[in-house]
Amino acid sequence: MVDNGHNQPTQGEVPEDANEHCPGTQSEAAGKSDACKGCPNQEVCATAPKGPDPDLVAIAERMATVKHKILVLSGKGGVGKSTFSAQLSFALAGMGLQVGLLDIDICGPSIPKMLGLEGQDIHQSSLGWSPIYLESNLGVMSVGFMLPHPDEAVIWRGPRKNGLIKQFLKDVDWGELDYLVVDAPPGTSDEHISIAQYLLATGVDGAVVVTTPQEVALADVRKEISFCRKVGIRVLGVVENMSGLRQPLAGFRFVRPGDGADVTDWAMDYIRERAPELLALEGCAEVFAASRGGALGMCRDMHVPFLGKVPLDPQLCRAAEEGRSCFEDQRCAASAPAIREIVEKLLAAGDATQ
């Protein structure tokens, strides 16, 4: 345990949900002191090895060939974090950069589906585990590739999750990468503590936090930002996803009030005959109420960068379901430009740190 002059552990050694007077995860008393009773981390702390982790040297050596490392976090599930991680990786690879996408959402690995890689198997060589390559410059690693069936439940305790994350970092042969994008599970759990501990020593650019506009999501994002500050990870910025529904008028389905009968064909014929210029317009609607200014207002209050808004685009949802890039054609006309603008801001932030 690091002594800060007051016989208390440094913040980086104390889990987010620890009890008051936590002795620190590296203390010999971890999981055994009176202060540990009832703590959700007690079993993990009591059984985890203490002192310097010898695997950190192996992780540092493996990560030495990775120029930039970006964590993608969210306070809640269901905000589109994995969709953003996948499309961020597609965008970076589309710029000719060497990209790795690491999925550490152990219990809910959705990255294989979002990149159209379901059913692939991991191969091992003398250099370590080989990523699954979607393109020559986009490699992917996920626990989803290790499951016998995509519907298989992963029921693991913290130490086993941490062990797999460590293996992903020290045993995967990423080669020379410009960017490693890490898709983390929602919240501030064991996986987050582990990835922060393992990557901080190797140099991590920071974290992108994904949210939706409503306050119920932003409340958890504030905790995520607090977590990043406590463990020493820079917040690169916040993305407001699903920021209002937006799609061309021709993409809407029309129903009759009352009985819900589908009258799309009639409505579209009517528009084509009477007002065809309307077909060039996009329909917009606020799906989630941003009662306190949404993500932008939160960023101002917490003094973190706001990266931008991505509209709720049905075409982006289809791209994620089909495992393809939203940049490959013009179908994601509402969301692709917004994501590209966010990616450009991240690239500029990365250049500024060099």
pLDDT in the model for residue 293: 82
Average pLDDT (224-247) is 94
Average pLDDT (133-140) is 96
CA distance 158 to 327: 37
What's 276-339 look like in SS3?
A: HHHHHCEEEECCCCCCCCHHHHHHHHHCCCEEEECCECHHHHHHHHHCCCCCCCCCCCCCHHHH
Known binding-site positions: 22, 36, 39, 45, 75-82
CA distance 230 to 232: 6
For residues 240 and 34, which has the higher predicted lDDT (pLDDT)?
Answer: 240
List, in order of start, the domains of the chain with CATH numbers: 28-53 (no CATH), 65-242+288-352 (3.40.50.300), 245-285 (no CATH)
Known binding-site positions for [4Fe-4S] cluster: 22, 36, 39, 45
Burial 62-83 (b: 16+ CB within 10 A, else e): bbeebbbbbbbbbbbeebbbbb
138-142 and 132-135 strand pairing: antiparallel
Amino acid found at 221: V
* Beta-ladder partners of 3: none
Q: Is the pTM of this model over 0.85?
A: no
pLDDT tens-place string over residues 274-330: 999 999 998 998 888 777 789 999 999 999 999 999 999 999 999 999 999 999 998
Known binding-site positions for ATP: 75-82
Q: How many CA atoms lie within 13 A of 53 on its CB side?
A: 18
pLDDT tens-place string over residues 4-31: 333 344 434 677 677 777 887 777 778 7
Distance of CA 263 to the CA centre of its chain: 39
pLDDT tens-place string over residues 22-70: 887 777 778 788 888 888 877 777 766 666 677 888 999 999 999 999 9
Alpha helices in the chain (DSSP H): 42-47, 55-63, 81-94, 111-114, 158-171, 190-200, 215-231, 264-274, 294-302, 314-322, 336-353
- How many other C-beta atoms are found inside a 10 Å radius of the C-beta of residue 301? 12
Residue with tokens 């393809």: 324
